[in-house]
Amino acid sequence: REIELLYRGTTLTMAEVAEATAAALGNLSLDAASGDDAKKAALSVLNDRITALEKASWHIPPTLEPGLSLTPDALSQMSRARCAVIASNCTSAVWKFVPPEYYTYDLERRRQTLGATSTYQLCKSMLMENIKCENTDCSDGTNSRYYLVVVQYEAEINGKKLSSEIRALRPPGKDRLDPRQFEFRLASSDDNDRLTGYVHNSVTPFGLRDGKVPIVLAADVAKVRPAFMWMGGGHVDLKLGMAVEEFVKGTDAIVADVSDPRSGAFED
């Protein structure tokens, strides 16, 4: 049971886990009479072995690995994102590690680093909170307290447009909410960490800790050609690219007009 918990959430195959288990336990003499200390030592060796295998599975460029913070928690977040992408059958997915100084680059240099065709393919995921919502959770997609909005770096979220589009998810009539029940703002960092399970600049729409958070894709992203997009990959130095069509299907995203061209300097 303890061994199962160690590899749960990783992207290792059963064969790789079996090999790691055999290698780790083969170095220690364990039997039914073994004490707790011996068992803990075996599990520690196994954990180190699986962590090493998990790192190797990402094929991190040797020039970038020294600058990456790949703690067990970070690897767990990355694996959660990758497992979600695989489960969503997003076969066009591409993972790419970027230098630690990536966020000091302007958008053109970021485009070059990722090999993107256009800066309009570069996106970020922002957790937005409707502070006028009477609900406290995300159980109702038409009236959720929070929405994760994916928007281009070349654009900015328009709160009024977002309110209008979410309100329009309900048909006209008595069930449609009053406009006064909407006022969106950027969610707090605590709420972001709690609901997404990812920290600033690493948020990805895949593998959210709260899987009920609705995903909203800015309509302008779907207009970019080639129809490919880049976003966070679950680690500040890991980016995820995929076809827009697969993203929409894989996340069940609401495609809506919620952004305007950015007028000033872009945000991280």
DSSP of 60-94: --TTTGGG----HHHHHHHHHHHHHHHHTT-TT-E
pLDDT tops 80 at residue 49: no
- pLDDT for 60 equals 76
pTM of the full predicted structure?
A: 0.82
pLDDT tops 80 at residue 133: yes
- pLDDT for 61 equals 76
What's the average model confidence in pLDDT over 215-233?
97
Residue 74: pLDDT band with limits 50, 70, 90 = confident
Lowest mean pLDDT among 13-17, 110-114, 153-157: 13-17
SS (HEC) of 141-176: CCCCCEEEEEEECCEEECHHHHHHHHHCCCCCCCCC
Angle (deg, nearest 10), helices 36-57 and 14-26: 140
Residues of the chain above pLDDT 90, percent: 67
Residue partners of 36: CB distance under 8 A and separation at least 6:
none
Q: Alpha-carbon distance 120 to 88, whole Å? A: 24
Cβ neighbour number for residue 261 with a 10 Å cutoff: 9
- pLDDT for 31 equals 53
More confident residue, 266 or 68: 68
